[in-house]
């Protein structure tokens, strides 16, 4: 850990995945904010008593800090569930930006789900960028896969990194990942991302009763139809590979569901593939709040434990989660993987060491890079967002400034 006087405000902190990564590098978290009791209890136990229970839809006086970090609640536009256009939580993206615009920290970090890009036809991107560019932030906005930062899961997320009047770098990938579309395009010469079994290898045997030898390392035994499904699924197989009599009724109802134009329909909900057994030699699918009901252990006929899900998110075993089982899984599923946060924080720390900062100096804000996908193919919805960003923020052709993909 580096010695630092750089101070941080963590908005919508949740369990504290972002804060943990920044603390490891040496940043000082002055204040964290959330309004979930399980999140506050979890953060307070593991990271410190500087967290406060605040409703960020209201106005507050925040301390001046060097860096603001956070991820406004994503449920309004997450592709993992029902998309609600008028979800009030969506407006918290703009609130996040306006808090930064008022405080004018040296830098900010924003994290959200990949569905953020196409939410409301790209208007949420505008909500994020407009207030920040107006006051002088130079910003990278990119979709990344956490697996390319060594996190043992394919977790696609949108990251924005901005500097006030100076140009921050975007952290370099550290790992090559396989097992998800486009993952290998980020890098092919780096070390391989750890697999599920590599991430879980040194855990003791899971218990059938709480709390487990390691907190959260216990599972509910499967019985009846659930056990029959588990016994029938090989690694990589999902509900669609089961005989019809073993398929869940809700899966059969959604069997011919289609996602049009890259945007989930209003009827989309739940896990697209139903229950699935993870592959032992690849990174996991994305950890979500409903993962225990969706994914089976690669080798054992049981769901993953809370601790195994936390491991896949790169939380250390001594990081304890509070609340009900559902609360703990939601905290883990919503968190930024601490390993990815640490890599981002280390890159930002190095930048802050190099750049002089003058709060009274105004320099025009701009988009430094916009990478909405590494794939060469775009859905109609994403094409619309690319056109919007190009027209609104780029004064010269976007392809000339920075390729959208490598």
CATH number assigned to the domain comprising residue 312: 3.90.120
Which single residue is written with the structure tokens 């990174």? 283
For the chain, what's the residue count? 406
Inside any domain, residue 1: no
Which residues are known catalytic residues? 74
Q: Which domain holds residue 241?
A: 196-334
Across the range 201-207, mean pLDDT stands at 96
CB 133 within 8 A of CB 366: yes
> CA 335, CA 71: separation in Å to the nearest integer?
9
Across the range 236-261, mean pLDDT stands at 73
Q: Which of 317, 334, 351 is the last residue of a domain?
A: 334
Inside any domain, residue 406: no
H-assigned helices in 287-324: 291-294, 306-312
Residue 84: is its pLDDT beyond 70?
no
> CA 36, CA 196: separation in Å to the nearest integer?
30
> CA 104, CA 100: separation in Å to the nearest integer?
6
Residue 212 and residue 128 share a domain: no
Name, in order, each residue with C-beta under 8 angstroms of 361's C-beta and a sequence gap of 6 or more: 165
- The more confidently predicted of residues 186 and 361 is 186
Residue 141 and residue 32 share a domain: yes
Backbone φ, ψ for residue 396 (5° rounding): -130, 165
Q: What is the DSSP string of 16-46?
A: -HHHHHHHHHT-EEEEEEE--HHHHHHHHHH
Q: Beta partners for 234?
A: none
Residue 215 and residue 148 share a domain: no
Q: Considering Cα of 319, then 321, then 325, then 328, what sign does the dihedral take? A: negative
Inside any domain, residue 249: yes
Q: pTM score, two decimals?
A: 0.88
Inside any domain, residue 140: yes
- The more confidently predicted of residues 314 and 364 is 314
Inside any domain, residue 18: yes
> CA 126, CA 134: separation in Å to the nearest integer?
12
Inside any domain, residue 295: yes
- Which of 120-129, 157-166, 184-193, 357-366 has the least mean pLDDT? 357-366
pLDDT given for residue 162 in this prediction: 97
Residue 257 and residue 145 share a domain: no
Backbone φ, ψ for residue 87 (5° rounding): -60, 125
pLDDT given for residue 273 in this prediction: 60
pLDDT given for residue 406 in this prediction: 32
Q: What is the CATH number of the domain that holds 38?
A: 3.40.50.150
Q: What is the DSSP string of 238-281?
A: BGGGS-GGGS-HHHHHTTT---BTTB--TT--S-TT-SEEPPTT
Inside any domain, residue 383: yes
Inside any domain, residue 144: yes
Q: Identify the band that residue 268 occupies on the pLDDT scale cut at 50, 70 and 90.
A: very low
- Which of 76-85, 173-182, 192-201, 244-253 has the least mean pLDDT? 76-85
User: Per the structure, how many domains does the chain have?
Assistant: 2
Peptide bond preceding 46: is omega within 30 degrees of 0, i.e. cis?
no
Residue 264: is its pLDDT beyond 60?
no
Residue 97 and residue 170 share a domain: yes
Residue 149 and residue 107 share a domain: yes
The angle at the Cα of 159, spanning 312 to 181, to the nearest 5 degrees, equals 60
% of the chain at pLDDT higher than 90: 71
Residue closest to 22 by CA, chosen among 74, 62, 69, 73: 69
Residue closest to 116 by CA, chosen among 381, 393, 395: 381
């Amino acid at each position: 850990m580096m010695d630092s006087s750089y101070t941080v405000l963590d908005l919508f902190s949740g369990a504290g995945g972002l804060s943990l990564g920044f603390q490891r590098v040496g940043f000082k978290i002055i204040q964290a904010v959330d309004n979930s009791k399980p999140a506050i209890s979890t953060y307070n136990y593991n990271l410190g008593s500087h967290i406060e229970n605040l409703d960020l839809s209201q106005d507050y006086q925040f301390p001046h800090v060097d860096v603001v970090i956070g991820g406004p609640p994503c449920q309004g536009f997450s592709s993992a569930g029902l998309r609600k256009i008028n979800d009030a939580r969506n407006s918290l993206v703009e609130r996040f930006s306006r808090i930064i615009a008022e405080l004018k920290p040296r830098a900010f970090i924003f994290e959200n789900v990949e569905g953020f890009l196409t939410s409301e036809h790209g208007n949420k991107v505008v909500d994020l960028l407009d207030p920040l560019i107006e006051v002088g932030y130079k910003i990278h906005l990119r979709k990344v896969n956490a697996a390319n930062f060594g996190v043992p899961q394919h977790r696609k997320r949108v990251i924005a990194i901005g500097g006030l009047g100076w140009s921050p770098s975007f952290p370099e990938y550290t790992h090559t990942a396989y097992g998800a579309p486009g993952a290998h395009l980020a890098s092919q010469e780096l070390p391989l991302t750890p697999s599920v079994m590599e991430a879980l290898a040194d855990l003791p045997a899971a218990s059938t009763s709480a709390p487990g030898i390691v907190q959260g390392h216990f599972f509910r035994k499967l019985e009846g139809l659930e056990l029959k499904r588990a016994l029938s699924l090989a690694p990589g197989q999902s509900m669609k590979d089961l005989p019809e009599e073993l398929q869940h009724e809700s899966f059969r109802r959604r069997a011919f569901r289609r996602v049009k134009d890259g945007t989930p329909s209003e009827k989309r909900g739940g896990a697209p593939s139903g229950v699935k057994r993870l592959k032992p030699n690849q990174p996991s699918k994305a950890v979500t709040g409903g993962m225990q009901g969706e994914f089976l252990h690669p080798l054992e006929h049981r769901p993953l434990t809370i601790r195994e899900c936390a491991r896949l998110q790169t939380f250390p075993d001594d990081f304890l989660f509070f609340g009900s089982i559902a609360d703990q899984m939601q905290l883990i599923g919503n968190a930024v993987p601490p390993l990815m946060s640490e890599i981002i924080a280390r890159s930002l720390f190095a930048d802050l060491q190099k750049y002089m900062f003058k709060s009274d100096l105004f320099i025009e804000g701009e988009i430094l890079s916009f990478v909405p996908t590494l794939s060469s193919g775009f859905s109609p919805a994403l094409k619309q967002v690319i056109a919007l960003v190009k027209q609104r923020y780029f004064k010269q052709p976007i392809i000339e400034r920075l390729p959208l993909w490598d």
